[in-house]
Chain A
Amino acid sequence: MNMGSSLVANPMRRSNELYVAEISSKKPLISTKKKEKHRRWREKISIFRAHNGDPLEAIRAPFLENGDPLELLLSPHSFRPTVRNLRLPRISSHIRRFSDASIPPPTMESTSPSDIYVTADARGIGAGSDGGHESSLAVTSSMGSHFGGFIVQMEKSGNIRERIRSLASEIEATNRVMHAGLLLAHQPLPIPEVLKKAESQRVVLRDLYGRLAEILHECPGQYYR
């Protein structure tokens, strides 16, 4: 049979085949943006924690690591005004993110909540500030260790969630290929030929669901989470 004539005779079939080929060539949609966002967030947490949870120290430290700031500014040789030298971790933007939405007009002069966290305890407000300061440090450190466990837990569940999401997108892509192949059933084609493409994807789908089951085995009892 002359293939050229059959294609010419059935242009609809040709366009459907091209459509199926286009969909199957598309890569699964893995959320790299979300992975990147998560990685950056983890980096910031480690910087924040390295400076004992002090946001101002976390911001100052990389700047001071380049040397005395005044010297850097004055010396024409050692200080190159590039973006790299002046880059600071954006911890404050994350703290600001929660405060910007509904922050009332400032009642205190030139203070922000983050400043107060640093300065209030340093000033030792209230009578018995020394004893109060020590006990507050004890409470803070115990709270830090308590919440540290939660961070680990949330990170773990976040990783599992990312893996499930990427797998779900692959399953969705495979389903689209199967569905596109089954759409040929509306054409005057023999059913076995139409089912052939969908059948070939069934193996892929089974494999993907197997991988999903393995991930769900890692967190028993949390299927509905």
Chain B
Amino acid sequence: MASVLRAVKKPRMISTTSAMKEEFTKHVDYLNELNDKRERVVKASRDVTMNSKKVIFQVHRANKDNKEEVLLKAEKDLAATTEQYMSRLVKELQGTDFWKLRRAYSFGVQEYVEAATFCRFCRKGSLLGLNEINSTLAPLSDQNDEPLQINALDYLLGLADLTGELMRLAIGRISDGEVDYAQRIRRFVQDIYRELTLLAPMMDDNAEMKKKMETMLQSVMKIENACYSVHVRGSEYIPLLGTNEVDYSFMGLTDFDS
């Protein structure tokens, strides 16, 4: 009897453990793949950040003598950044997980927006819109994949950073004597600040934007103070306003040479 029972006795199978292990193996594979993708996206985003900063530094080198050639070079560098580095970012994202991996590439995109809008302002004096930027990125994506489109949040954060660069530009232009240009920058920055004041509370997770708004206010006030000082004390700045000739007319005296 015991031998018969032993013969029909089935071996014990721990089936639940193997099914659970299989399930978790799938999760592990998925997470590993996602982390690898995230690493590659972060690397591509860093390259975009670095090259966008180079474009911004290039634009800052412009003055009234070399403006055209410097801007041309900056625009070429921006186009190269778009073709080489933004396209790599697009390739790594592969048309998926735009919002899932947003934190990985947001800083790069913000820097890119800052560089692109900065170039546009220096060239034409106007604001480069989000649709225009996205239209330049659309050809980079594969036809089968969903194209990478910069979202409004990253665009607005990039725009907030732009005001800091415009502040540096305005101060630089004032020291070179281009006061009118500085006034245009002042108006432009004030407009951006006013519009973003309305938008900032509505943004998702607006802690970052709140910090940028504080910095933006400082930039606006620096530009305003500089323009105000030049306007009120303008006579003391005559040697800076484009002429090297000494002029004593503000003291009520005639020129010694005439």
A residues near B (Cβ < 8 Å) are 41, 45, 48, 53, 94-95, 98-99, 101-104, 107-108, 113, 116-117, 120-121, 125-128, 132, 135-136, 139-140, 142-144, 146-147, 150-151, 153-155, 157-158, 161, 221-225
Instruction: Report the bound CA distance from A120 to B102 in whole Å.
Output: 40
Tell me the nearest residue of chain A to B193, going by C-beta. A113
- The smallest C-beta distance from B217 to any residue of chain A, in angstroms, reads 6
Besides the known contacts A102-B214, A102-B218, 10 further A-B residue pairs in the complex with CB atoms under 8 A apart: A94-B197, A101-B214, A104-B221, A113-B220, A120-B190, A121-B187, A126-B179, A151-B202, A225-B99, A225-B102
Tell me the nearest residue of chain A to B221, going by C-beta. A113
Instruction: Report the bound CA distance from A222 to B152 in whole Å.
Output: 13
Size category of the B interface is 35 or more
Q: A224 touching B221 by the CB < 8 A rule?
A: no
Question: B188 on the interface (CB 8 Å rule)?
Answer: yes
Instruction: Report the bound CA distance from A41 to B204 in whole Å.
Output: 15
Given A113-B217, A125-B231, A225-B204, verify A139-B188 contact (CB < 8 Å): yes
Tell me the nearest residue of chain B to A49, going by C-beta. B198
**Chain B contacts for A107, CB-based, 8 A:** 225
Question: B93 on the interface (CB 8 Å rule)?
Answer: no
**Chain A contacts for B197, CB-based, 8 A:** 94-95, 98
Question: B199 on the interface (CB 8 Å rule)?
Answer: yes
Instruction: Report the bound CA distance from A182 to B213 in whole Å.
Output: 49
In the A-B complex, the 7 residue pairs with the smallest Cβ-Cβ separation, listed nearest first, are: A154-B202, A224-B99, A147-B195, A224-B100, A126-B183, A225-B99, A136-B187
Instruction: Report the bound CA distance from A128 to B213 in whole Å.
Output: 31
- A-B CB contact pairs (8 Å), 22 listed: A41-B201, A94-B197, A95-B197, A98-B197, A98-B217, A101-B214, A102-B214, A102-B218, A103-B217, A108-B225, A116-B190, A117-B190, A125-B227, A125-B231, A144-B195, A147-B195, A147-B199, A150-B199, A157-B204, A221-B146, A222-B99, A224-B99
- The smallest C-beta distance from A187 to any residue of chain B, in angstroms, reads 27
Question: B32 on the interface (CB 8 Å rule)?
Answer: no
**Chain B contacts for A132, CB-based, 8 A:** 180, 183-184
- The smallest C-beta distance from B33 to any residue of chain A, in angstroms, reads 16
**Chain B contacts for A102, CB-based, 8 A:** 214, 217-218
Given A98-B214, A113-B220, verify A154-B203 contact (CB < 8 Å): yes
Given A116-B224, A125-B231, A153-B152, verify A99-B217 contact (CB < 8 Å): yes
Q: A221 touching B224 by the CB < 8 A rule?
A: no
Given A102-B218, A132-B184, verify A158-B191 contact (CB < 8 Å): no
- The smallest C-beta distance from A89 to any residue of chain B, in angstroms, reads 14
Interface of B, helix, strand, loop or mixed by DSSP: helix
Contact residue among B125, B146, B204 (Cβ-Cβ distance under 8 Å from A139): B125
- The smallest C-beta distance from B91 to any residue of chain A, in angstroms, reads 19
**Chain A contacts for B187, CB-based, 8 A:** 120-121, 136, 139-140
Q: B217 touching A151 by the CB < 8 A rule?
A: no
Among B146, B188, B202, chain A packs the most CB atoms within 10 A around the CB of B202
Question: B23 on the interface (CB 8 Å rule)?
Answer: no
Tell me the nearest residue of chain A to B96, going by C-beta. A221
Tell me the nearest residue of chain A to B125, going by C-beta. A139
Instruction: Report the bound CA distance from A116 to B198 in whole Å.
Output: 18
Near A by CB (< 8 A), chain B positions 218-251 give: 218, 220-221, 224-225, 227-228, 231
- The smallest C-beta distance from B158 to any residue of chain A, in angstroms, reads 13
Instruction: Report the bound CA distance from A169 to B26 in whole Å.
Output: 31
**Chain B contacts for A98, CB-based, 8 A:** 197, 200, 210, 213-214, 217
Given A95-B197, A108-B225, verify A143-B127 contact (CB < 8 Å): yes
Given A132-B183, A224-B100, verify A113-B202 contact (CB < 8 Å): no
Q: A221 touching B152 by the CB < 8 A rule?
A: no
Given A53-B194, A150-B152, A151-B202, verify A142-B126 contact (CB < 8 Å): yes
Contact residue among A117, A154, A161 (Cβ-Cβ distance under 8 Å from B194): A117
